[in-house]
């Protein structure tokens, strides 16, 4: 059996995910707005997006048979990225802090942590946060993905990991 690096799945909270990004949850709205007293520009719980380094792209990403193992991790050094599952499916993401921004940089396996993202939540990754995923246990899932049009061509820094990783709940 191939040796695997096992990632204990953490509970996703604002505090536990803060080094890597922000957790986005639904807000009660009054018609088309949240309410007359709400000021998103001064609300620290609003997603702080960085999309000015290119044209934003919001797309629906349909994935099949992804599974819960991975052997590569990537990051985007010019843009934040937002991900969320459509249809309420829980999913997983592995993340590591940005660290060194140089081309040859890579995260240490010990710095990679895993989260289960409830189907009623989305996440925003900080610029340069290493990530693997989204991953899910089911056969297929569709995600919304907010990044830049050229993210995968001009802002995709991926590295192979020393060992394949697997999400492990209940550890």
Alpha-carbon span 65 to 71, nearest angstrom = 15
Q: Domain-by-domain residue ranges, the chain?
A: 5-27+49-168
Q: What does the pLDDT look like over 23-32, one tens digit per residue? A: 999 887 766 6
Q: Is pLDDT above 70 for 34?
A: no
Q: E-assigned strands of the chain?
A: 5-11, 21-25, 56-64, 69-75, 81-85, 91-96, 113-117, 121-125, 130-135, 140-148, 157-168
Tokens 């990004």 belong to residue = 21
pLDDT at site 99: 87
Q: How many residues does this entry show for the chain?
A: 171
Judge: domain 5-27+49-168, CATH 2.60.120.480. Answer: yes
Burial class of 14 by CB neighbour count within 10 A (0 to 12, 13 to 18, 19+): exposed
Q: What does the pLDDT look like over 126-160, one tens digit per residue? A: 999 999 999 999 999 999 999 999 888 888 999 99
Q: Are 111 and 19 in contact (CB under 8 A)?
A: no
Q: Are 85 and 117 in contact (CB under 8 A)?
A: yes
Q: Are 6 and 168 in contact (CB under 8 A)?
A: yes
pLDDT at site 32: 65
pTM higher than 0.85 for the full model? yes
Q: What does the pLDDT look like over 61-105, one tens digit per residue? A: 999 999 999 999 999 999 999 999 999 999 999 999 998 888 889
Residue 35 — very low, low, confident or very high, per pLDDT cuts 50/70/90?
A: low
């Amino acid at each position: 059996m191939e040796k695997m690096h096992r990632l204990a799945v953490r509970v996703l909270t604002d505090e536990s995910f803060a080094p890597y990004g922000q957790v986005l949850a639904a807000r009660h709205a009054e018609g088309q707005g949240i309410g007359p007293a709400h000021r998103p520009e001064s609300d620290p719980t609003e997603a702080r997006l960085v999309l000015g380094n290119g044209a934003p792209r919001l797309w629906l990403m349909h994935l099949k048979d992804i599974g819960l193992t991975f052997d590569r991790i990537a990051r985007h050094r010019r843009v934040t990225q937002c991900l969320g599952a459509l249809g309420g499916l829980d999913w997983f993401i592995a993340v590591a802090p940005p660290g060194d921004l140089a081309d040859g940089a890579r995260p240490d396996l010990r710095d990679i942590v895993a989260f289960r993202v409830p189907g009623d939540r989305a996440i925003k990754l900080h610029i340069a946060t290493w990530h693997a995923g989204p991953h899910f246990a089911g056969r297929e899932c569709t995600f919304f993905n907010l990044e830049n049009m050229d993210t995968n061509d001009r802002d995709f820094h991926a590295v192979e990991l020393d060992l394949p990783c697997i999400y492990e709940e209940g550890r």
